[in-house]
C-alpha cells in the first residue's frame, strides 16, 4: 500500500518471500500436471488393454470357433462319402479333419481359459464321434457293397426334384430358386446315408450317434463363436465409453487449468511487481531530493530485505546531506 503526505512518503511492504511465491507457483503447476499425466497414462493403458483383448483373444477365438464348425462339416462330408463309396481316402480325410479340429480347440483353450467347460465338452464329443466312426468303419468292412438299386432310386428322385425346381423357376424370384436348390443339394447326402443305414439296423444306430455328436460339436462351436463376438462388441462399447469419459474428464481438467492459470496470471504479478514499484517510487523521491520517506515493513521476505537496504541507503544519503548543508554556508 502506498500513499503520500505533504511531508513524507510512506512505503508499506509485507508478504511472503519471492522463493515461497515461486515455490507456490511451481507446486500449483505440478498439482495440475500430475493428475493430467496420471489420467493420460491410465486411459492409455486401459484402452490398450481393451484393444489387446479384442485383437489377441476375442476375435481369434470367434474365428477359430467358426473354423471348428467348418472342419466338423468337412469331417461329416468325408464320413458320408465313405459310407457311399467305401473309399479309404475318405477315412484318412475324416481323421485329418478331426485332428485339425482338435488343434483348433486347443488353440481356443489357450486363448480363452474361461471357456474351459465348453472346450472339455467339445473334446468329449470329438472323442465320441471318433469312436463311433471307427465302429462304423469296422461294421462296413464286414458288410457287402451298398445297395446300388436304392442309391439309383435316390439319384433319380434327386434329379426329378431338380427338374421340378427348374420347371417352376419362372414363377418365383431368383433368390427363392437359389434357396430351393440349396435345400435339394443339402438333403441329397442325408438321403444317401439314410439309404445305406436302412440295410443295417446296427449301423443305423452308429450313424445316429455320429450325427448327434457332429451336430453337438457344431452347436457348441456356434455358441462359442457367438459369445466371442458378443465379448468383442462389449469390449468395443467399453472402449467407446472409456473414450467419452476421457473426453469429459479432459475437458473439465482443461477448464480448471484455464481458470487457475488466469487467476495466477493476475495474482502473482501483482504480489511481486507492486512492492518493486513502491521501492522504485521511493528511490525516485530520494533522487529528487526528498528524503522524508518512511518505511513500514513486515516480514523477512527478499522485498522487505531490499526495502531495509533502500531505507538504510536513503538514511545514509540524508545524513550526509544534512551534515554537508551547514558547512556549505558562508
- Evaluate whether 261 touches 36 at the Cβ level (below 8 Å): no
Q: Which helix (H) or strand (E) is 272 found in, with range?
A: helix 201-287
Cell of 157: 428322385
End-to-end CA, the chain = 43
How many residues are listed for the chain in this entry?
330
Q: Is 129 helix (H, G, I), strand (E, B) or coil?
A: helix
Strand partners, 12: 296
| pLDDT at position 17 | 63
- Render each residue's pLDDT in the chain as its tens digit; 330 residues: 343 444 556 666 665 566 666 676 667 667 777 777 787 788 888 888 888 888 888 999 999 999 999 999 899 888 877 877 778 888 999 999 999 999 999 999 999 998 999 999 999 999 999 999 998 888 776 544 455 555 555 556 656 666 666 666 555 565 565 555 555 555 555 555 555 555 556 777 887 888 889 889 999 999 999 999 999 999 888 888 888 888 888 788 778 777 777 776 676 666 667 777 777 777 777 777 776 777 766 766 677 777 777 778 777 777 777 776 554 444
- Evaluate whether 12 touches 1 at the Cβ level (below 8 Å): yes
Segments making up each domain of the chain, as ranges: 2-39+248-327, 146-199
Q: Is 4 helix (H, G, I), strand (E, B) or coil?
A: strand
Angstrom CA distances, 129 to 54, 143, 325, stand at 32, 21, 124
Q: Which residues contact 184 (CB under 8 A, 6 or more apart)?
A: 158, 161, 162, 165
| pLDDT at position 238 | 86
Name residue, grid cell 462351436.
221
DSSP state letter for 299: S
| pLDDT at position 228 | 92
Q: Which residues contact 66 (CB under 8 A, 6 or more apart)?
A: 221, 225
| pLDDT at position 120 | 94
DSSP sequence for 39-82: HHHHHHHHHHHHHHHIIIIIHHHHHHHHHHHHHHHHHHHHHHHH
| pLDDT at position 6 | 40
DSSP sequence for 141-208: HHS----HHHHHHHHHHHHHHHHHHHHTGGGS-HHHHHHHHHHHHHHHHHHHHHHHHTT-HHHHHHHH
Amino acid at each position: 500500500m502506498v500513499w503520500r503526505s505533504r511531508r513524507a512518503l510512506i512505503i508499506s511492504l509485507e508478504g511472503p518471500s519471492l522463493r515461497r511465491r515461486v515455490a507456490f507457483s511451481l507446486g500449483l503447476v505440478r498439482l495440475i500436471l500430475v493428475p493430467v499425466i496420471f489420467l493420460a497414462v491410465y486411459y492409455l493403458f486401459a484402452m490398450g488393454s481393451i484393444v489387446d483383448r479384442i485383437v489377441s483373444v476375442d476375435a481369434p477365438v470367434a474365428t477359430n470357433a467358426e473354423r471348428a464348425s467348418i472342419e466338423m462339416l468337412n469331417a461329416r462330408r468325408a464320413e458320408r462319402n465313405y459310407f457311399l463309396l467305401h473309399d479309404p481316402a475318405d477315412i484318412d480325410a475324416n481323421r485329418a479333419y478331426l485332428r485339425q479340429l482338435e488343434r483348433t480347440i486347443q488353440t481356443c483353450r489357450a486363448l480363452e481359459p474361461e471357456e474351459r467347460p465348453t472346450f472339455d465338452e467339445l473334446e468329449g464329443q470329438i472323442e465320441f464321434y471318433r469312436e463311433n466312426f471307427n465302429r462304423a468303419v469296422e461294421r462296413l468292412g464286414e458288410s457287402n457293397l451298398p445297395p446300388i438299386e436304392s442309391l439309383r432310386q435316390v439319384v433319380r428322385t434327386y434329379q426329378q426334384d431338380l427338374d421340378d425346381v427348374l420347371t417352376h423357376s419362372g414363377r418365383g424370384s431368383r433368390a427363392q430358386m437359389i434357396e430351393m436348390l440349396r435345400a435339394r443339394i443339402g438333403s441329397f447326402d442325408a438321403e444317401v446315408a439314410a439309404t445305406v443305414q436302412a440295410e443295417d439296423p446296427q449301423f443305423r444306430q452308429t450313424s445316429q450317434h455320429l450325427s448327434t455328436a457332429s451336430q453337438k460339436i457344431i452347436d457348441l462351436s456356434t455358441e462359442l463363436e457367438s459369445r466371442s463376438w458378443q465379448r468383442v462388441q462389449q469390449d468395443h462399447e467399453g472402449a467407446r465409453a472409456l473414450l467419452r469419459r476421457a473426453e469429459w474428464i479432459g475437458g473439465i481438467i482443461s477448464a480448471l487449468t484455464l481458470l487457475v492459470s488466469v487467476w495466477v496470471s493476475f495474482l502473482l504479478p501483482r504480489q511481486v511487481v507492486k512492492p518493486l514499484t513502491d521501492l522504485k517510487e521511493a528511490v525516485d523521491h530520494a533522487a529528487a531530493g526528498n528524503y522524508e520517506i518512511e518505511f513500514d515493513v513486515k516480514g523477512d521476505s527478499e522485498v522487505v530485505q531490499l526495502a531495509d537496504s533502500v531505507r538504510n541507503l536513503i538514511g545514509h544519503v540524508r545524513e550526509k546531506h544534512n551534515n554537508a548543508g551547514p558547512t556549505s554556508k558562508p
